[in-house]
Amino acid sequence: MIEWIRSLNEASVPFLVWLQSFASDGLTSFFSLMSWLGVEYFYILFFPFLYWCVSKRWGILTALSLIFSLYVGEMIKWAFKLDRPPSPPVVRLWEETSPGFVSTHAAPAAGVWGMMMVAVRRWQWALPLFLLGLSVSLSRLYLGVHYPADVIGGWIVGLIGLYLVLKLAEPWGERLARWPASRQLLAALLLIVALLAIFPSNWEGRRPAESGVLTTAVFFGLLLGLIWDHHRLHFSVRGPWTQRLLRYVVGLVLVLAAFLGLDILFEPFSQGNYLTAQAFRFVRYAAVGFVVPGLGPWLFQRLRLA
């Protein structure tokens, strides 16, 4: 299969060169913006708003779709370790150092914006969301960092994740909700250990690769927050929009404190032993995941913002 994908990639190089023949400053700026909508910084801003201000239910489902598409996409990426388009002849307009197949911009684009399309249920809103997800995916071709097969593979991963989350998340969630908190915590811990254990190595052969640590850490933090919310907090999005927006501003301070503050705090440990560095990385991203359903709503209730 790997050789078949390589042959497809080699055959598609002329298409990428042709696509980039239309390059301009305006198009490059546009597609760079679209690619930015697929990086972690965007999702760190987007998901708190969705969960705290719009819909708790769709926030959870969309987050699960994102985590599935990222984890599976990154697992395939590091298992296959296929190269990105050669430069030259393709012009590299975006910096990437990870393998190419599959695109972990295209996979979340299908999973996240596909979930949003299901949520809005109106074609007037669904069409712009579809075009947004498509633009994020196509930006990777224009910017010279992915082959068409990478993007198509990403779409397949994202759509599978979307289907599984819609089909299974709520029935399984209702069943797991009947468990005591101790059993839920143990199950979450065992699941995360398993996900880390099976994740492939990076370029240097170190396991798990950094992206696997990031994704599983956010997932673990999310699970911890959801368990706390289910048993204690019972957070509700309801409230006037002035309250919701204030909630977002206050909560975003917590998110950025976890994301940026812990990055600065843990910097001395990032250059040492690989496993030690990844352990601190795990704590940092787990904290980010925990803030959204856990620490943020707890603070909102104390401040009478929820």
DSSP 237: -
Task: Say if residues 182 and 98 touch (Cβ distance below 8 Å).
Answer: no
Residue in the structure block whose two tokens are 């990385």: 281
Residue 284 has pLDDT above 90, yes or no: yes
Q: How confident is the model at residue 113 (pLDDT cuts 50, 70, 90)?
A: very high
pLDDT digits (tens, 9 = 90+) for 230-250: 999 999 999 999 999 999 999
Q: Where are the alpha helices (DSSP H) in the chain?
A: 2-20, 25-36, 40-49, 56-80, 106-120, 123-142, 148-164, 170-176, 181-197, 210-228, 241-256, 262-266, 274-290, 296-302
Ordered by start, the domain boundaries in the chain are 1-178, 179-306
Classified as helix, coil or strand, 227 is helix
Confidence at residue 184, expressed as pLDDT on a 0 to 100 scale: 97
Between 1.20.144, 1.50.40, 3.40.50, 2.40.128, what CATH number should domain 1-178 receive?
Answer: 1.20.144
Residue 251 vs residue 123, higher pLDDT:
251
Mean pLDDT of 251-258: 96
- Rg, C-alpha atoms of the chain: 20
pLDDT tens, position by position, 82-111: 999 998 999 999 999 899 999 999 999 999
Percent over 70 (pLDDT), the chain:
100
Please give the mean pLDDT across all residues of the chain.
Answer: 95
Residue with tokens 């197949």: 101
pLDDT of residue 42: 96
Q: What is the pLDDT of residue 161?
A: 97
Structure-block tokens of residue 134: 């498509």
Q: Would you say residue 3 has pLDDT above 90?
A: no
Which of 17-26, 36-45, 264-273 is least confident?
264-273
User: What's the rounded mean pLDDT across residues 122-134?
Assistant: 91
pLDDT score at 123: 82
CB 161 within 8 A of CB 69: yes
DSSP 109-177: HHHHHHHHHHHH--HHHHHHHHHHHHHHHHHHHHTTS--HHHHHHHHHHHHHHHHHIIIIIHHHHHHHT
Res 268: pLDDT: 85
Span 36-59, pLDDT tens digits:
999 999 999 999 999 999 999 999
| 61, 169 contact by CB (below 8 A) | yes
Question: Is it the case that residue 272 has pLDDT exceeding 80?
Answer: no
**Residue pLDDT, tens place only, 144-185:** 999 999 999 999 999 999 999 999 999 999 999 999 999 999
More confident residue, 206 or 296: 296
Rounded to an integer, what distance in angstroms lies between the CA atom of residue 104 and that of residue 149?
12
pLDDT tops 90 at residue 124: no
pLDDT reported for residue 1: 80
